Chains A and B, each alone.
Chain A
Amino acid sequence: MTDQIIAVTVLGDDRPGIVADVTGALVGLHGNLEDSTMTLLRGHFAMVLLVRTAVSLESVEAALLPLSANGSLVINARVLGDSALSEVGGPSYSLRVHGADRPGIVAAITGVVARNGANIVDLGTRLGDGLYVLIAELQLPSEESATGLAAELQETAEELGVDVHLSPVDDDLL
């Protein structure tokens, strides 16, 4: 079998050692970890990692099975197709939103982003004590599209009663 990419997601109760346990279980498959991300979402462990391996999906699932046996973690694995690289080729922008928590902030803001042809490449949200914060990085279709996007975001932010800031992210090659 040729190499394939298997995405592994791990969710559950946080404790020290989960990353070491999951990656340790995968080492035995002679797979290679590629990109991964992990964070705590209100105290819950959440991780996605991509493994390039020649072994089958069933072998990966079997290797990880002992970790979910006691019910504290939910682990899923699935084969991914080849990635579609960067559809939107324009400039990077940083988006920051904060305001009083209410339903629909993320849906409304990201709806504006999508309608303007921009792609979200990184996003995080946090809920504090009544304060909602959204930070995202966008790739815009063009530099010219920033003005229209900023105006529409501002309009939507006012309807939601939140603050929004859109600013360019410049890469400096040194």
Chain B
Amino acid sequence: MTTGTITWAMPELPRGAVRAVVRAPDPVLSTPGEEVDPTGSAAIELAADLLATQLVSPGCVGLAAQQVGVAARMFSIDVSGHAKTRTCHGAFVLCNAEVLSATRKESGREGCMSVPDFTGDLVRARRLVVRGQLPLTGEWVEISTDGFEAVALQHEIDHTVGLLFLDRVSGPHGIHPRRTYL
């Protein structure tokens, strides 16, 4: 595992509360998020809650605001320790994030806490540059990453614009029952 060139640090947030994770077909999952003010108290609380909720959810490497019922452009990520992780920026939250470049597309199969019955085959970039704002400070940061962290970022940014992996599945045979085998 490598650490990206990090010129920023995730601000320390107050302790968050665990929120309930919603499941499809809850309409909030299909609702594009509002731009957030990362320095506002509601955004700071949401950011802390996303991290807290992600932490207690087994196998969860990312959580978007939509997944806790809030249509906002914010998500948390933490791919530390995942077997497929290469570059890793630890646990962080991004607000108003957008993809600047996405290359080296590869197919893979992914699942989502909000779609517990299925997995889907889809193509995602394995080299990614995104920009977004950190909660609390509102600092704009640019993140270059690859591999699993790149996939997770695309999955979460999709959530913030109201898209599920189901919206990107490669063809009619690309949906599978979720396996419990680990």
Do A and B make up one complex?
Answer: yes
Spell out A's residues near B (CB within 8 Å).
Answer: 37-39, 89-92, 121-122, 124, 137, 169-174
Give every chain B residue within 8 A of A169 (Cβ-Cβ): 109
- In the docked arrangement, what's the CA distance between A169 and B174, Å? 12
Whether A92 contacts B179 in the complex (CB less than 8 A), given A122-B173, A173-B61, comes out as: yes
B108 CB within 8 Å of chain A: yes
A172 touches B60 (CB 8 A): no
Name B110-154 residues within 8 Å CB distance of A.
Answer: 110-113, 119, 148, 151-152
A174 touches B155 (CB 8 A): yes
Give every chain B residue within 8 A of A38 (Cβ-Cβ): 172
What distance in Å separates the Cβ of B115 from its nearest Cβ neighbour in chain A?
10
Pick the residue among B151, B172, B178, B179 that contacts A174 (CB under 8 A): B151
Give every chain B residue within 8 A of A137 (Cβ-Cβ): 176
Nearest to B180 among chain A residues (CB) is A89
B151 touches A172 (CB 8 A): yes
| Pairs across A and B, CB under 8 Å, 12 listed | A37-B173, A90-B181, A169-B109, A170-B84, A171-B109, A171-B178, A173-B61, A173-B111, A173-B113, A174-B110, A174-B111, A174-B152
Give every chain A residue within 8 A of B119 (Cβ-Cβ): 171
Interface of A, helix, strand, loop or mixed by DSSP: strand
B14 CB within 8 Å of chain A: no
Interface of B, helix, strand, loop or mixed by DSSP: mixed
A173 touches B110 (CB 8 A): yes
B84 touches A37 (CB 8 A): no
Give every chain A residue within 8 A of B152 (Cβ-Cβ): 174
Give every chain A residue within 8 A of B148 (Cβ-Cβ): 172
Give every chain A residue within 8 A of B173 (Cβ-Cβ): 37, 122, 124
B108 touches A172 (CB 8 A): yes
B179 touches A173 (CB 8 A): no
A37 touches B172 (CB 8 A): yes
B162 CB within 8 Å of chain A: no
Give every chain B residue within 8 A of A89 (Cβ-Cβ): 180-181
Give every chain B residue within 8 A of A37 (Cβ-Cβ): 172-173
B62 CB within 8 Å of chain A: yes
- In the docked arrangement, what's the CA distance between A169 and B181, Å? 12
- In the docked arrangement, what's the CA distance between A91 and B109, Å? 13
The proximity string for B residues 11-25 relative to A, scoring 1 for CB distances below 8 Å and 0 otherwise, is 000000000000000
